[in-house]
Structure 1
């Protein structure tokens, strides 16, 4: 199977369809993680500037964003390696091989979803903290 061609055709087997959908999904994950990398860069800069101005105490959240940035980079690296390994799907000649790839994808999907959930919670907490600070400053 050609991983660059993720179009699904009538003659594709269910397994081929799954592999194509998984490849598309993986590409989307990588795109989202690259976006998060850029977003984290901005959030880290915002927190750093805030600390320098001593407007709000963002030291803890800054450390969390930096940690999340490292985790994001690590996951990006893992998923890029995984994408390159997926090129060997075409060499599968039995269901055990296909099942191995499908299970591998499921494992990476769980890791990705956990990362996304954790990132959203961190970002939500940051926005709640900023909102509180803005309300405190406006009430003075």
Structure 2
């Protein structure tokens, strides 16, 4: 676990690393909550609340994608402490580029989950 408190003596690399660490933790928390929501929707769907079996399969697939993304973020979270050991700009660029790619992937995934949840809610049969 990284100390994310900001100190006056922190340099740019320290601040960048701490910010990325906190951001990754936030993404992982949101993905865990999303996985729980998707699991609940699958449970509802299995009780014939949805008009479409296809939506249930999409939910299951999206839940699996969420798990894969969580694993990917967890692995990267363990790697970012190595940024302090970078001795050149190429190394620093590698970690910055990785983080930006993960940001795009995370945002796209959350957007797709939101769209799927809206479709599901619109398909629930009146009780």
Alignment-derived partner of residue 71 in structure 1: 65
Distance across 2 between alignment mates of 1:10 and 1:104: 27
Alignment-derived partner of residue 34 in structure 2: 36
Greater RCO (Cα-Cα under 8 Å, separation 6 or more): 2
- TM-score normalised to the size of structure 1? 0.82
Task: Give structure 2 stretches of 5+ with no counterpart.
Answer: none
Residues 95, 10 of structure 1: alpha-carbon distance in 2 compared, 3 angstrom cutoff:
farther
**Larger Rg: 1 or 2?**
1
Distance across 1 between alignment mates of 2:36 and 2:16: 30
1:113 aligns with 2:107: yes
- TM-score normalised to the size of structure 2? 0.90
Alignment-derived partner of residue 45 in structure 1: 43
Deviation at 1:58, TM superposition (A): 2.9
Task: Give structure 1 stretches of 5+ with no counterpart.
Answer: none
User: How many aligned positions are there?
Assistant: 127
Distance across 1 between alignment mates of 2:23 and 2:105: 14
